[in-house]
Structure 1
Amino acid sequence: MTTDLSPSPAGPQADKLDRGVLVVAGVVVLGAIMSILDITVVSVALKTFQAEFDATSAEVAWTMTGYTLALASVIPLTGWAADRFGTKRLYLLAVLLFAAGSALCAAASSLEVLVAFRVLQGIGGGMLMPLGMTILTRAAGPERVGRVMAVLGIPMLLGPIFGPILGGALIDSASWHWIFLINVPIGALAITYAALVLPADHVEPSETFDWLGMVLLSPGLAAFLYGVSSIPSAGTVRDAQVLVPAIIGALLIGAFVPWALHRRNIHPLVDLRLFQNPRMTVAVIAMSLFAIAFFGASLLFPLYFQTVRGEDALGAGLLLAPQGIGAMLTMPVAGVLADRIGPGKIVMAGIVVITVGMGMFTQLTETTSYTFLLSALFVMGLGMGGTMMPIMSAALQTLQDHTIARGSTLMNIVQQVAASIGTAVFSVLLTNGILDHVDPTDPRSVPADLAGVYAGVFVVATFMVAAVLVPAWFLPRSRPVRAVDPAVLAGH
């Protein structure tokens, strides 16, 4: 059985997701669930890894860092590989690598081996999301991309919320091995499903692979993100552990830019010429600001529940559930509206709602009622459901078919880098806020008003989220029209 991925013609049927698109969406969501859940599921196992492998917190953190660096490094290769080998073949390979890496992680006998297999997982996981966006966008066409992005957004939003819940439950009821073993049957199902549903690839001769671009960009991204992710542990941006890799990474990325812009017969790992499309440029700016503000601030919610209110990891995860519920309610509606009236109005409304919810957290105290906190999270979820995926939709709606893979690659890199920067920024803000309020005679003491420190950081987060309104104002506010490839016009 295969599914026709050609977009439906414009008209009444274009407003509906037909069975073929929904079947393809099921394949993509299954892969996304594996990749995204795995990031957050592992986060609750770090203390267990410390005890299991007799390691320090800095050492076990590499189980997270190694995965993230591998994920970021492989994303640039995905657009070229999709054009060269076909999305179906590459998607099957990505799921296979992820599932195999998961099985090997469960069998790891030392921390070093576990980190190595997490890197293998990250290589597979890094390809799943940009590939999924490419497959779905091609299947639905630009007139329905808002709805399919809403479908893909479900695991992206719910993974960080329900991952800690699942991880805590598996570790408490079984063992840490099961946070990896659970991916094996899901991976087998995803491979079977994709092999049956996705159509055979029809690959045309590809442009020459950009070897120099790979040498510059993939290591550059890895080094830059390693430096940025080292900021919380170093405690300052000026530490050599932060500056050396970050500067080397920035120089490599900077060298990639002129190379990518001036090579015409080589397939660039990231097609920077896409920025000639003003809608893509605005969407990239909006996504960057949003990911820094929202994903960075998201670090604070579970920390507040654990450090101020005394909740354990599982309890903190459960308390975040209203955010996911709110997103689930608005995301399908936002997808439909983004297709009908353009994503601009939807994104602006979503940002306003998130700003209100984030602003509620600026009033935190040690005794703030849970009703107030859960209501604020629910409000933020409502806004989240109408923000991130419509921004993605705005970026991909106007792309021609052969540039969709490159556009999804670019947006995934932007989201990954911005989220890492946001996490580092808010970690430093929180750490410095705590240090400013501790008793100078006892540096290890806890500030008397720890909740007030969190409230102060949420003030910064509120203004940063509100700043997304500026680029959101320039997002398209009309029904998308399929872009026509100039080569097709020239042939008629």
Structure 2
Amino acid sequence: MTYRAKVELLYLLGFSLDLVNMFIGTVAYPAVAADLHASVPQLAWIGNAYMLGLTLVIPLGSWLAARLGERWLLCLSLAMFALGAVLAGTAPSIEALIGWRLLQGLGGGLLIPVGQAMAYRQCPPAERGRLTARIMAVALLVPALSPTLGGWLVGLGSWRWVLLASVPLAALALLLAAVWVRAGRAPRALPPLDRRGLLLGSLGLSLLLVALSRIAEAQARAPGIALLLLAAAVLAVYARTAARTAQPVLQWTLLRHPALRLAMLVYLLVPGTFIGTQLVATLLLHRQGYTAAAIGGFMLPWAIASACAIATTRARLPRLGARPLLSAGMLCQAIGIALLIGVQAHQPGLPVLAFALMGLGGSLCSSSAQTLAFQGMSDDELLPGSALWNLNRQLSFCLAAALLACVLAVLSALTPDSAFTFTLLLAAGMSLLPLLLLWRLPASTLTLRTSA
């Protein structure tokens, strides 16, 4: 096996670990609540704490990689991840479980940007579309299969097995990282740590995630909005500080690459909007009389269409460039969301078509954006660029969902008959917003490089 193949396999294994831990636990929440006497907000923080850990540690990736080296950093991250999983799986209380999930997120947060930077560095630019196709296949399969695996494990024994399921994979990844990853050259001078930026950025992101989780709860919406405004103020101060810092904890200067700017916006407003739309659609379909099994079944055409989109991107992106694929993807998702407005009871054909269009459009955009993000970057820029990309990816999972949930709640109180219609129209419009930037960029920016 070539060194490039080993690095890619290690990254995909780490990516799978991250996705498993984000999607497998939901089915265990009723058992956790009964065993640990946990409230609904506490259950929500089982996932939120993991995501918070991921978000807080991602900005430190570049500095830690320079200080420790990529091999040691990966081994340390995997060891911390596995330890967090063991402690979470044996937690005696809900408070301890949430704390250990935070530790697990701190370990897992460095697996993705470091591993992704290594994988793209080893992959020639002309072949990065194929690497992206493999990444997107993992991103499609793992979230689809994880809840089923989690339900099976809960049925076999205890909810604790759900949290412990990732330990063998983490141990395998740790062994492979120690054996396979080459020791990198030590840097001539370590970059300074932007302590002020790290403090302000961590505080701002923490407040943002807490605010979004509060806004999603109707009874806590007012304090959530206050926290959101405070988070915006802290992040504004951080932005001003980062602009005056030579080496900020996150290298925002990389946004000078138009491809990265566009890719981050696309991921935030297309896959991110789908997460929020899925929540709205679930409530709407339930209101129309569809069972939970039927609503879950609509993800099957979504998954099939997503697989077709990934294959299409792999074959067509190098020849066509990103503009036509991204445009088609945004239009497909917007049309699919709009079709949900006409859903009727006992007429599953329309939601099947809507979810298929959303799967096709969302994956055309996400797979194209994943490849496009790293075009034009030098090898030294891949790790800090990956940190920016993955921080944006984490935030995309909750920003649009919180916005659409809040809009639906407000409209349901003001105009209950048209609340779903207006919310879905907003979601469709959000999916189309990146077109404004897409068609302003020159075609050369959106064409893959064919040589190193």
Same fold (TM over 0.5): yes
1:189 matched to 2:164? The reply is no
Q: Mark the CA change 1:104 to 1:303 in structure 2 (over 3 Å): closer, same or farther.
A: farther
CA deviation vs aligned residue, 1:84-117 (integer Å, no higher than 9, x gap) = 3232222222222222211111111111111111
Aligned partner of 1:424 in structure 2 is 402
Q: Which of the numbers 330, 335, 351 marks the counterpart of 1:373?
A: 351
Aligned partner of 1:212 in structure 2 is 196
* Alpha-carbon separation, structure 1, partners of 2:421 and 2:155: 32
What's the CA shift for 1:198? 2.6
Q: Which of the numbers 277, 280, 301 marks the counterpart of 1:297?
A: 277
Q: Which of the numbers 365, 370, 390 marks the counterpart of 1:387?
A: 365
CA RMSD of aligned residues (A): 2.5
Aligned partner of 2:448 in structure 1 is 479
Q: Counterpart of 1:290 in structure 2: which amino acid?
A: V
What's the CA shift for 1:28? 1.3
Contact 2:277/2:424, CA 8 A, preserved across alignment: yes
Q: Mark the CA change 1:333 to 1:192 in structure 2 (over 3 Å): closer, same or farther.
A: farther
Q: Counterpart of 1:480 in structure 2: which amino acid?
A: R
1:224 matched to 2:193? The reply is no
What's the CA shift for 1:250? 2.1
Aligned partner of 2:232 in structure 1 is 250
Worse-superposed segment, 245-254 or 182-191: 245-254
* Alpha-carbon separation, structure 2, partners of 1:315 and 1:128: 36
Aligned partner of 1:172 in structure 2 is 155
* Alpha-carbon separation, structure 1, partners of 2:13 and 2:282: 26
1:96 matched to 2:79? The reply is yes
Aligned partner of 1:470 in structure 2 is 436
Contact 1:165/1:317, CA 8 A, preserved across alignment: no
Aligned partner of 1:277 in structure 2 is 257
Q: Counterpart of 2:407 in structure 1: which amino acid?
A: L
CA deviation vs aligned residue, 1:320-340 (integer Å, no higher than 9, x gap) = 132222212221330343234
Q: Counterpart of 1:354 in structure 2: which amino acid?
A: Q
What's the CA shift for 1:456? 4.5
Contact 1:398/1:481, CA 8 A, preserved across alignment: no
Q: Counterpart of 2:438 in structure 1: which amino acid?
A: A
Contact 2:270/2:362, CA 8 A, preserved across alignment: no
* Alpha-carbon separation, structure 2, partners of 1:405 and 1:415: 15
* Alpha-carbon separation, structure 1, partners of 2:76 and 2:392: 24
Q: Mark the CA change 1:181 to 1:357 in structure 2 (over 3 Å): closer, same or farther.
A: same
SS at match of 1:299: helix
Q: Counterpart of 2:43 in structure 1: which amino acid?
A: V
Matches within 5 A, 1:8-23: 20-21=4-5, 23=6
* Alpha-carbon separation, structure 2, partners of 1:132 and 1:303: 37
Q: Mark the CA change 1:367 to 1:171 in structure 2 (over 3 Å): closer, same or farther.
A: same
Aligned partner of 2:334 in structure 1 is 355
Aligned partner of 1:486 in structure 2 is none
* Alpha-carbon separation, structure 1, partners of 2:422 and 2:144: 23
CA deviation vs aligned residue, 1:243-290 (integer Å, no higher than 9, x gap) = 1x32332222222223222222xx321101112223333333333322
* Alpha-carbon separation, structure 1, partners of 2:138 and 2:320: 25
* Alpha-carbon separation, structure 1, partners of 2:177 and 2:315: 26
1:117 matched to 2:117? The reply is no
* Alpha-carbon separation, structure 2, partners of 1:218 and 1:104: 24
Q: Counterpart of 1:279 in structure 2: which amino acid?
A: A
Q: Counterpart of 1:366 in structure 2: which amino acid?
A: A
SS at match of 1:387: helix
* Alpha-carbon separation, structure 2, partners of 1:191 and 1:308: 48
* Alpha-carbon separation, structure 1, partners of 2:408 and 2:156: 33
What's the CA shift for 1:236? 7.2
The structure carrying a bigger helix percent of its residues is 2
* Alpha-carbon separation, structure 2, partners of 1:306 and 1:221: 33
Contact 1:295/1:422, CA 8 A, preserved across alignment: yes
Aligned partner of 1:8 in structure 2 is none
Contact 1:337/1:343, CA 8 A, preserved across alignment: no
Q: Mark the CA change 1:306 to 1:113 in structure 2 (over 3 Å): closer, same or farther.
A: farther
Name stretches of at least 5 consecutive residues in structure 1 with no aligned partner. Answer: 5-19, 439-448, 484-492
| Count of equivalent residues | 448
* Alpha-carbon separation, structure 2, partners of 1:78 and 1:309: 47
Q: Counterpart of 1:284 in structure 2: which amino acid?
A: M
Q: Mark the CA change 1:360 to 1:140 in structure 2 (over 3 Å): closer, same or farther.
A: same
Q: Counterpart of 2:303 in structure 1: which amino acid?
A: G
Contact 2:313/2:368, CA 8 A, preserved across alignment: yes
1:327 matched to 2:311? The reply is no
Contact 2:126/2:448, CA 8 A, preserved across alignment: yes
Q: Counterpart of 2:197 in structure 1: which amino acid?
A: G
Matches within 5 A, 1:78-89: 78-89=61-72
CA deviation vs aligned residue, 1:125-145 (integer Å, no higher than 9, x gap) = 222222232122111133322
CA deviation vs aligned residue, 1:329-370 (integer Å, no higher than 9, x gap) = 22133034323443222222222222232232221123332x
Worse-superposed segment, 158-167 or 205-214: 158-167
Q: Counterpart of 2:192 in structure 1: which amino acid?
A: T
